[in-house]
Amino acid sequence: MNPYMAGFLLGLVLLGTIYVTGRGLGASGAIKRVVVTSVVEVAPQHSANTPFIKSYHEEHPGGPLKDWLVWEVIGVVIGSFFSGVISNRVGIKLERGPNITNSTRIIAAIIGGALFGLGSQLGRGCTSGAALSGMAVMSFGGIITMIAIFGSAYSFAYLFRKLWLK
């Protein structure tokens, strides 16, 4: 899809979500909901003795499938799969630069994902929730988050560019 059209449509989805639910989009809340519910089910004694897990679980009763954010993430996964099928891009492929090995690429992706997950919890939201939804309502925190995301991305891209370029 044309990236400008996709951005425009994402903006409409975001505005519709804010209008209907009173809050914006985000994925980290869904992941947190599933993880907390899993901990409660697997280790109930531990969760009863952990203040954060106990209070979060009490504030969000009924399990993860009662939360619209979980359904949002499920819909994103299903929708992206169908988008890949329609555009003939479904497959397993490891993209990497010429100066990096497959194992280094996989390890770096796992570490990056873990750091991103940690950062989304420390920052009280992922890029969707903190930056896009925050900027949509002209939140100062959302604007600062977006500046920090792109600023750090450009900085890290400069530092790691030799791994991707010939």
User: What does the pLDDT look like over 140-158, one tens digit per residue?
Assistant: 888 888 888 888 888 888 8
pLDDT bucket at 42, cuts 50 / 70 / 90: very high
For the stretch 51-90, pLDDT in tens is 988 888 888 888 878 888 888 889 989 999 998 999 888 8
Average pLDDT over residues 30-46: 90
Question: Mean of the per-residue pLDDT values for the chain?
Answer: 86
What pLDDT is recorded for position 4? 92
pTM: predicted TM-score of the whole model, two decimal places: 0.71
Give the closest residue to 36 by CA, choosing from 54, 12, 49.
54
125 pLDDT above the threshold of 80 = no
Q: Indicate if 87 and 137 belong to the same structural domain.
A: no
For residues 118 and 112, the answer to whether their CB atoms sit within 8 Å is no
Q: Helices in 63-137 by DSSP H: which ranges?
A: 68-86, 102-122, 134-136
Where does a domain end: 59, 91, 123? Answer: 91
Q: Which range has the worst mean pLDDT, 17-21, 123-127, 132-136? A: 123-127
Which residue shows structure tokens 């792109």? 150
pLDDT of residue 134: 82
Give pLDDT, residue 161. 82
Residue 96 backbone phi and psi in degrees, to 5: -155, 160
Residues 77 and 22 placed together within one structural domain of the fold = yes
Q: Are residues 12 and 83 in the same domain?
A: yes
- Indicate whether 68 and 84 sit together in one domain: yes
Residue 118 and residue 50 share a domain: no
Same-domain check for residues 166 and 99? yes
Shared domain check, 30 and 105: no
End-of-domain residue from the set 28, 58, 91: 91
Number of domains in the chain: 2
164 & 140 share domain: yes
CA distances from 75 to 82, 107, 121 (A): 10, 28, 22
CA 56, 145, 113, 11 dihedral sign is positive
H or E stretch including 5? helix 3-21
Tally helices (H) and strands (E) across the chain.
8, 0
Identify the band that residue 44 occupies on the pLDDT scale cut at 50, 70 and 90: very high
Indicate if 86 and 98 belong to the same structural domain: no
69 and 114 inside one domain: no
- 16 and 85 assigned to the same domain: yes
